[in-house]
Structure 1
Amino acid sequence: MKKQTFWLAMTLATTTATAGAAQDMQPKMAQFVTEHVMDWATDPIIVDAIIAQNAISGSYDQAKINELDTLWMAQSGMAGIPLIDDVLQNPTSDFLRQRIATAGGTIAEIFVMDARGLNVAAAEATSDYWQGDEEKFSETFPKGPNAIHFGEVELDGSSGEVQAQVSMSIVDTTGAVVGAMTVGINLASLM
């Protein structure tokens, strides 16, 4: 697997445009998401958690969102932080970690966002709390129920794996968009 990762990284490094490399991998990423993610992406444990948080965060103004985002980044990596613990230590986050465990190394990360782009649940702590200013949110949630966004191909510094994020709108039982989810895929596992 390390040899495949090395060659994939070398191939991507010699590609003139990262966006082009991401585009080349999109069919395989889309197939993986269709076959292995979509069947649980709208599980009630995810949808209900988003709806519950939407009831709270729906009244937040941008100043409150910025305050929470700054607090998250300042306290990232610390133990016993209520804001971070509320996202990481809940049944939905446990569910996401189970999905990673059963994916056989293909899924590197998963996190779920509410209607404001704030983290609801995550398998691991994200670098920030507010995703609403990033394409993983702006290219999914506001675009409707079937929106999907493929992020750029990147080399993860901590794992050494070549990854890309696939984000999608999350809908409730009526088909209304309630939030979004991002899945980080280890691309070497798709080769």
Structure 2
Amino acid sequence: MRTLLSAGALASVAALGLALATAPATQAAENEFRPQLERLMAEQVTPWLSDDTVVAAVKAQNTEHADLDAAAIESLDQQWRREAEAGGGPLIERVMATPLSAYLGEKKAAMEGLVSEMFVMDNRGLNVGQSDVTSDYWQGDEDKWQKTFQAGPDALFVDAVEFDDSSEAFLSQVSRTLVDPETGEPIGAITVGVNVENLF
């Protein structure tokens, strides 16, 4: 059973959000909910990351994108951004229609408001599947990919708590490396956006 944070804990979240808004960027990597976020990933996310729905989709896209150069990646990312601003388009529709995106949507729904989004990235930092449309398609220039996939098979990155205007909630993104269960080699990464106000 999930319980909402106490009034004191919510005040702490609000204070943390205020502190982060005025803190230097170098202080943004840690947050006081790290133990709960790590437990969430270990207990409710990691067990299904070796599912063939996830692994097969990532490996297939790694093969498909093996020859993409930086210009091609930038072009895809720009196309995605334009489509996101326009409310949709062929690239977004293709990704959102995949079995992996449907699977992530089901996993998000099962967490009943605890998770705001989930998305999986390939070995180039490009989205493979997602529960919700992200603002960009390429994550390779961000910590969520650089501090997981590039850091090795056991890497876990807990980002700062930030206030999300669209959902009007305090969120933290938690990311970890995805591995091939047969070889133990990194193949991609996953990011889970967590509403810290609804943590256990």
Tell me, yes or no, whether TM beats 0.5.
Answer: yes
Match status 1:186 vs 2:195: yes
**Which residue in 2 is equivalent to 1:165?**
173
CA distance in 2, matches of 1:190, 1:21: 19
**Are residues 111 and 71 of structure 1, via their aligned partners in 2, closer, same or farther at CA, if it must alter by over 3 Å?**
same
Match status 1:28 vs 2:36: yes
Q: CA deviation at 1:152?
A: 1.4
TM-score (norm 1): 0.91
Q: CA deviation at 1:13?
A: 3.4
Deviation string 1:106-133 (CA, Å, 9 cap, x unpaired) is: 1110000000000100111111010000
CA distance in 1, matches of 2:197, 2:68: 40
Amino acid aligned to 1:102: A
Match status 1:82 vs 2:86: no
User: Tell me, which stretches of 5 or more residues in structure 2 are unaligned?
Assistant: none
**Which residue in 2 is equivalent to 1:53?**
61
CA distance in 1, matches of 2:34, 2:13: 16
User: Tell me, which stretches of 5 or more residues in structure 1 are unaligned?
Assistant: none
**Which residue in 2 is equivalent to 1:98?**
106
Percent identity, please.
Answer: 38
CA distance in 2, matches of 1:118, 1:75: 16
8 A contact 1:96–1:110 mirrored in 2? yes
Would you say how many aligned residue pairs link Structure 1 and Structure 2? 191
**Are residues 142 and 7 of structure 1, via their aligned partners in 2, closer, same or farther at CA, if it must alter by over 3 Å?**
same
8 A contact 1:9–1:155 mirrored in 2? no
Q: RMSD value over aligned CA atoms?
A: 2.1
TM-score (norm 2): 0.88
Q: Structure 1 segments of 4 or more deviating over 3 A?
A: 1-6, 13-22, 77-80
